[in-house]
Chain A
Amino acid sequence: MKRITTGNEAVALGTLRAGVKVVTGYPGTPSTGCLGHLLTLDLPDRHVEWSTNEKVAFEIAAGAAWAGRRAMCTMKMSGVNVAYDALISVAYSGTNGGLVIYVADDPGVSAGMPEQDTRGFALMSDLPILEPSSPAEAYDLAQQAFELSEAVGSPVFLRLTTAIALSHAAIEVEEPVPPADAGVLLEKDIAKYTKAGSKICLDQHRDLIERLDEAAEWIHKRGLNRLDLSDEPGGLGIVCSGAVNAYLAEGLRATRSEGLPRDPMSILRATTVVPFPAVEARQLLDRCRLILVLEELEPIAERQLAALAQRVGWTGRIVGKLDGTLARTGEYATRDVVRALHEALAGLSSCGGPVRVGERPQAVLLLDDSEDIAVQALPDGLSRAPEAQKAIPANDAEGVAPAPRPITVCAGCPHRGTYLGIEAAIREAGLSEDEVMVTGDIGCTILGMNPPFDLLWTEVSMGSSLGLAQGYVHAGIETPVIATIGDSTFFHGGIPGLVNAIQHSTPLTLVILDNGWTSMTGMQVNPGTDAAFQPKGGRRIDLVRVVEGLGPDSVAVVDPYDVGAVTEAVGAALSAPGIHVVIAQRECAIQARRRGLVAAVVTVDPEKCILCLKCLRVTGCPALSIREGESTGRGELPSGSSPGNGSIEIDEETCTGCGICAAVCPTGALVRTPAEPRALPGEKRPPAGSSRPGKERTV
C-alpha cells in the first residue's frame, strides 16, 4: 500500500516490517519522529519507550538483542556520544538478535549542536552503517539492517540526515510482521558477554574486525552499493554516498543540459561507506583516471578511496573535500553537485585525452590542498565558495534586510518567570548580569540566552550546566555561580553533576526549570511527567524528592508565574554559602493549553495604557504587540479599534494568562483575572503517554 511518510516514519515502519520486538530512544531532532510514530500505534506485542537517556536506551536494546530479539534504539547524532561507552563494548561482544542503532545526523545544522558525522563512529567501532538516500530506501534498509545484523552477529548503524529524516514522500509500505515467537535466548558465555581479562577483549576485538569483513561481503552480495561502469575506459568516476545520491541524477541532467562534454562516466552509488565497498571501488579505479567523491560532512569515503588507490598504485586524481573542492560543512543540494561536476570535468580535460585499457594515466593523486586545480569557467551564478551558499542570505543588494527574529520562549512559558526572577535576584544582590556566570543546558531552557533575558553564557551538552558551573567555582570566580537545567535534561545527564557538586561541597545555585515535559523535541513524556501521562503501568519520579535525597543545603520549590517568589528563593540561595537548589515548577504552557488549562485572562484597558512598552521590553512575550491607530503590529486591525488611540494589544489566541506582563505594568492597564479552565479553539488533549507525531521541535 502506498502511503505518505517521513523518513523517520519510514524507518519506524520498516522496523515493524522486520518484526522488531523492542524499540528505545531519547528524543532529539531530527530523529524524534521515528520512535514518536511508533508510540502513536497500538503495538501490543512490542515494547516501545522513551528512555532516560541514549546510553540507557542502547543498553536496553542491546539486552533484548542479546536475548535473541530484534531491537532498535533511536537518537540524534549527539546521543551517540552518550551511548558510545556501552556501544563500543557491545560492538566487541556482537549480538544475537538484530540490533540496529538509528541515528539522524544534521548536516547544515537545522536543529543546533555539532555537525557530527556518525559514519566516523562506525569507522571507529568497526560497525557497518547503512545510509538511505530517500524515505523509500529508509523503509527498505531498516529491514535489511536487521538481516545484516543477524547475518554477521554485529550491531548495525542506520543513518539518515535531516533532509531525508524530515521529508515526506509517498512510499510503498507492506503489512507489519509480528516479532518472531522464538522465546528468550539465555546464553552464559563470559568470553562473549564480559570484558574479564585481556584475552577476552583481544579475542573480541579480532572477531569484531572479522565481522566487519563479513559485513562487507554480505553487502557486496546484496548489491547495496550500485556500480555503473562506462563501456569506455577513462573518463570521470563518481563515488556518491547517502543523501547526495538523491541529487546526483539531477546534477548530471543539469550539467548535460548546459552543454558540457558527455565524457564517459562511471558511478558508484554507495549505501555503505563503512565497510568501504572496496571491490566496486577497485573496479572504478581500474576504469577511471579522475574520481569525484560526493558525500556530506566528513571525507569518510574519500579517505578510504585514497588509501585503496595508494595501495593498488593508482595514480589518478581524486576530487572531493581533501583538495578543497567541496565543503566539509553544511548540507549539500543539487547545486553543490553541479558545481563539483564542473570542477571534476575541468580537471579531467586538463589530464589529457581518454586512456586506453592497461594504460596508466599520468596525473598525480592529491591527498591535500597543495595543488590549485585548473578549473574551467563556471556558468553564471555558480559560486565556487560552498560556505557562501549554505545560510539563507539576507538580501542586501537593495539595502533591504529582513528584520531580525530571535527566538524567545512561548507566550505563557513558565521559564519566562524563572529567568526574570533570576535576573531580579542578581540585581538585588547588587551584582550585574555581566559578572554572574549562569550556565545553560540543552532544551527549551537555553532560550534564556536570547533577548529579552540575555542571561545564559553556555550550552554544551546534556547536563553540562552543572559541571561547567563547578569548573568556574574552582577557577576562583568570586561572584556566585548559577546553573540552569530543565527537568528532562536533569534526569538525562544532570544528576551526576549535582551528585558531584554535593559530594565535593562546591558552592553553587542550581535552578531546575521543571515544566514536566521534554518540550523542545515536541512534548515527550519524561520520568517527571505527571502520572496521568506516564506509559501504562509506569510511574512518575518525583524530581523534588530526588533532589532532596541527594542532600543539598537547601531546596526551594516555587511557582515561576510568581516572579517575586522566584526572586526571593534565588536571592536567598545567592546570599548563603553552600549548594542550593531552586525548583521552578509549572507545566509547559503549550501542554497545559492543549488541555484547556489557562491560568487566567489578561485584558488591556486602553485608557490606562501609556505605551511605555515596559511589558514588551521586560517579558518579550509574543502575545503582546502594539496596536496603533492606522498601522498595525503583528495582527490585522481588529474591527472596532479606534485609530489614533494606540495601546498594547494581547493576542487572545496566544495568551495563556500567566500575568507576568500585568505584574510589570506600571499603570494597571494590563489586568489579570483568574479564569476557569476552558477549552481553547483548535486545541486537543494529547493522549496519555504519547508524543505528538509531526510536531518535532529542536534540541
Chain B
Amino acid sequence: MTTCDLLLIGVGGQGVLTIGDLLLRAAFAADVPASFCPTKGMAQRGGFVKVELRIGADGVGPRIGEGGADIVAAMERSEALKGIAFVKPDGSFLLYDHVWEPTGVQLGADTYPSLKDVSDAIEASGARLTVRHPAERPEIDGRPVSANVFLLGALMALPKMAALFAAADVERIIAARWPKSADANVSAFRAGLSVRLASGESLGRSPDRELPLGRG
C-alpha cells in the first residue's frame, strides 16, 4: 500500500491540529490505516505546534523522526525552518507563507527571516518546494476563507496525498465537520486544490458518492 509520512507545523491558533484531524478522518473513512500525533507547546495561541501523520502503514510508531517525512507542510514562514530537518531529500515541502511575527520581532529585538531566506534553505535540503500565499484565498462575505482548510486543499494537490485518497473524500469530511459552514470551507479547500468545479460535480474517484455542495 502507498504510505505517506506527513509533518504539519505552525503556530497555535492557525488550525494545524484540525488539518491533522481531518486527514485522519479521511483516512479512516477510506479504510486506510493512519496515526495522528499532535505536539503542542504551552500556549493555546501563539506557540509552536507540530502534527505527525503516518498514513497507509499499519503498526508503526507515532513519531516520524528527522529525515523521515515524505511531506512537510508549514503554515508559518519562520516556523517552516523547523521542518527542514524532517523532510526526506526527495520529499515535498509545502509552505503557506503566512507571517506571524512574535512580539520580540515587532519590538525590533529579534529578526524574522525573509521568504527568500526560507525558500533557499528548504530548496537546499533537496525537497521540492511549493509556496502558497495567504492572498490566494478567496473571500466570502468580505472575509478570506479559512487558511488551514485552504492549505489542506493544497496538500491534497500533491501526488503523494492524492494517491492515498480522493479529494472528494476529504471534502466530504470537511462538510461533515462543519455542517453550517460547509460551503465556505469546501470553497477554501477547492481554492487550495486549485480546482474549480460547478455545484454537484465530484472530484477524483468515488463517483458513486456525490457531494451535496452548495455554491460558496
Query: Which residues on the B side are within 8 Å of A120 (C-beta)?
Result: none
The yes or no answer to A398 lying at the interface (CB within 8 A) is yes
- One digit per residue, 1 when the CB lies within 8 angstroms of any chain B CB and 0 when it does not, for chain A 402-425 equals 111111101100000000000000
A609 to chain B, nearest CB (A): 14
Chain B residues lying within 8 Å of A452, measured Cβ to Cβ, are: 103
Interface centre among A2, A613, A622 (most CB of B within 10 A): A622
A117 contacts the other chain (CB 8 A): no
Docked complex Cα distance between A625 and B86 (Å): 31
| Inter-subunit contact A331/B42 (CB<8 Å) | no
- Bound-state CA distance A95–B108 (Å) is 61
Kindly report which residue of chain B lies nearest to residue A337, judged by CB atoms. Answer: B61
Provide the bound-state CA to CA distance between A599 and B103, in Å: 24
Assess whether A303 is interfacial by the CB under 8 Å rule: no
The contact string, 1 if C-beta is below 8 Å from chain A, for chain B 57-84, is: 0011111111110000000001101101
A617 at the interface (CB under 8 A from B): yes
A405 touches B63 (CB 8 A): no
Measured CB to CB, the closest approach of chain A to B67, in angstroms, equals: 6
A297-326 vs B: 1/0 string, CB under 8 Å? 000000000000000000000000000000
Task: Tell me how far the C-beta of B90 lies from the nearest C-beta in chain A, rounded to whole angstroms.
Answer: 13
* Tally of chain B residues near chain A (CB < 8 A): 61
- Known A-B contacts A4-B28, A405-B102; the reply to A246 vs B60 at CB < 8 A is yes
CB contacts (< 8 Å) of B67 on chain A: these are: 335, 381
**Chain B hits for A403, CB < 8 A:** 78, 101-102, 104-105, 110-113
CA distance A502 to B134 in the complex (A): 57
- Are A654 and B45 touching (Cβ within 8 A)? yes
Most chain A beta-carbon contacts within 10 A, residue among B42, B45, B82:
B42
Expressed in whole angstroms, the Cα–Cα distance for A393 and B121 within the complex equals 13
How long is the Cα–Cα vector from A163 to B38 in the complex, in angstroms? 8
Bound complex: CA A143 to CA B148 (Å): 38
A585 vs B104: C-alpha distance in the bound complex, in angstroms? 29
- Total A residues in contact with B, Cβ cutoff 8 Å: 65
Partner of B43, one of A250, A331, A408, A632: A408
Shortest Cβ distance from A253 into chain B, in angstroms?
10
Chain B, Cβ-Cβ closest to A620: B103
Contact A110 B81 (CB under 8 A): no
Q: Of B11, B21, B46, B113, which contacts A400 at CB under 8 A? A: B113
With known contacts A397-B121, A697-B44, A698-B42, A632–B110 Cβ distance under 8 A: no
Quick check: B134 and A169 within 8 Å, CB to CB? no
Given A247-B61, A636-B135, residue A395 in contact with residue B104 (CB < 8 A): no
Q: Could you tell me the distance between the alpha carbons of A408 and B47 in the complex, rounded to whole angstroms? A: 9
Q: A405-B46, A590-B44 are in contact. Are A334 and B36 (CB under 8 A)?
A: no
Which residues does chain A contribute within 8 Å of B113, judged by CB atoms? 400-403
Asked whether A333 and B104 contact (CB < 8 A) given A395-B84, A407-B47, the answer is no
> Interface readout for A222-264 with B: 1 if CB under 8 Å, 0 if not?
0000000000000000000001101101100000000000000
Do residues B39 and A636 form an inter-chain contact, with CB atoms below 8 A?
no
Contacts of B86 in A (CB 8 A): 392
B159 touches A (CB below 8 Å): no
Query: Known: A168-B37, A392-B85, A403-B110. Contact between A451 and B124, CB under 8 A?
Result: no
Whether a CB of chain B sits under 8 angstroms from the CB of A81 is no
Q: A4-B24, A333-B63, A632-B99 are contacts. A167–B110 as well, Cβ < 8 Å?
A: no
CA distance A505 to B100 in the complex (A): 49
Among A243, A247, A404, A613, point to the contact of B110 (Cβ < 8 A).
A404
B203 in contact (CB, < 8 A): no
A654 to B45, CA, bound (A): 9
Among A170, A335, A616, which residue has its beta carbon within 8 angstroms of that of B106? A616
User: Are A395 and B37 in contact, CB atoms less than 8 angstroms apart?
Assistant: no
Q: Are A398 and B61 in contact (CB under 8 A)?
A: no
Q: Is there contact, CB below 8 Å, between A616 and B103? A: yes
The complex places the Cα of A400 from the Cα of B120 at a distance, in Å, of 10
Q: Does B210 touch A at the CB level, under 8 Å?
A: no
Q: How many Å from the CB of B56 to the closest CB on chain A?
A: 13
Q: Is A114 an interface residue (CB 8 A)?
A: no
Say whether A168 contacts B103, CB under 8 Å. Answer: no
A-contact 0/1 string along B9-31, CB 8 Å cutoff: 00100000000010011001000
Per the bound structure, the CA–CA distance linking A682 and B142 in Å amounts to 17
Report the bound CA distance from A622 to B46 in whole Å.
7
Q: State in angstroms the CA–CA spacing of A164 and B101 once bound together.
A: 33
Q: Are A333 and B64 in contact (CB under 8 A)?
A: yes
* A291: chain B residues within 8 A (beta carbon): none
Look across to chain B and name the residue whose beta carbon is closest to the beta carbon of A400: B117
User: Does B35 reach chain A (CB closer than 8 Å)?
Assistant: yes
Q: Are A402 and B103 in contact (CB under 8 A)?
A: no
* Residue from the list A395, A406, A613 in contact with B107, Cβ < 8 A: A613
B120 cross-chain contacts in A, Cβ below 8 A: 398, 400
**A405 and B48 contact, CB distance less than 8 A:** yes
With A625-B106, A634-B99, A636-B144 known as contacts, the answer to whether A407 contacts B42 (CB < 8 A) is yes
Closest to A617 in B: B107
Indicate which residue in A4, A247, A395 contacts B25 across the interface (CB closer than 8 Å): A4
Let me know if A633 is at the binding interface, CB within 8 A: yes
CA A696 – CA B104 in complex, angstroms?
A: 27
Expressed in whole angstroms, the Cα–Cα distance for A625 and B103 within the complex equals 8
Q: Please give the distance in Å from B181's CB to the nearest CB on chain A.
A: 9
**Interface presence of B214 (CB below 8 A):** no
Q: Which residues of A contact B (CB under 8 A)?
A: 2, 4, 110-112, 133-134, 163-164, 166-170, 243-244, 246-247, 249-250, 331, 333-336, 381, 389, 392-395, 397-398, 400-408, 410-411, 447, 451-452, 520, 590, 613, 616-617, 620, 622, 625-626, 632-634, 636, 639, 654, 696-698
Instruction: Apart from A247-B60, A333-B61, A402-B82, list 19 A-B contacts with CB within 8 A.
Output: A4-B24, A4-B25, A166-B38, A166-B39, A247-B63, A250-B60, A333-B65, A395-B82, A398-B121, A400-B120, A403-B113, A404-B110, A410-B44, A616-B106, A634-B99, A634-B100, A636-B144, A698-B41, A698-B42
30 cross-chain CB contacts under 8 A: A4-B28, A112-B42, A134-B59, A166-B39, A167-B36, A167-B37, A168-B35, A169-B34, A170-B28, A244-B61, A246-B59, A250-B61, A333-B63, A334-B61, A395-B82, A400-B121, A403-B78, A403-B111, A403-B113, A404-B104, A405-B11, A406-B102, A407-B42, A408-B43, A451-B103, A520-B42, A616-B106, A633-B99, A697-B44, A698-B40
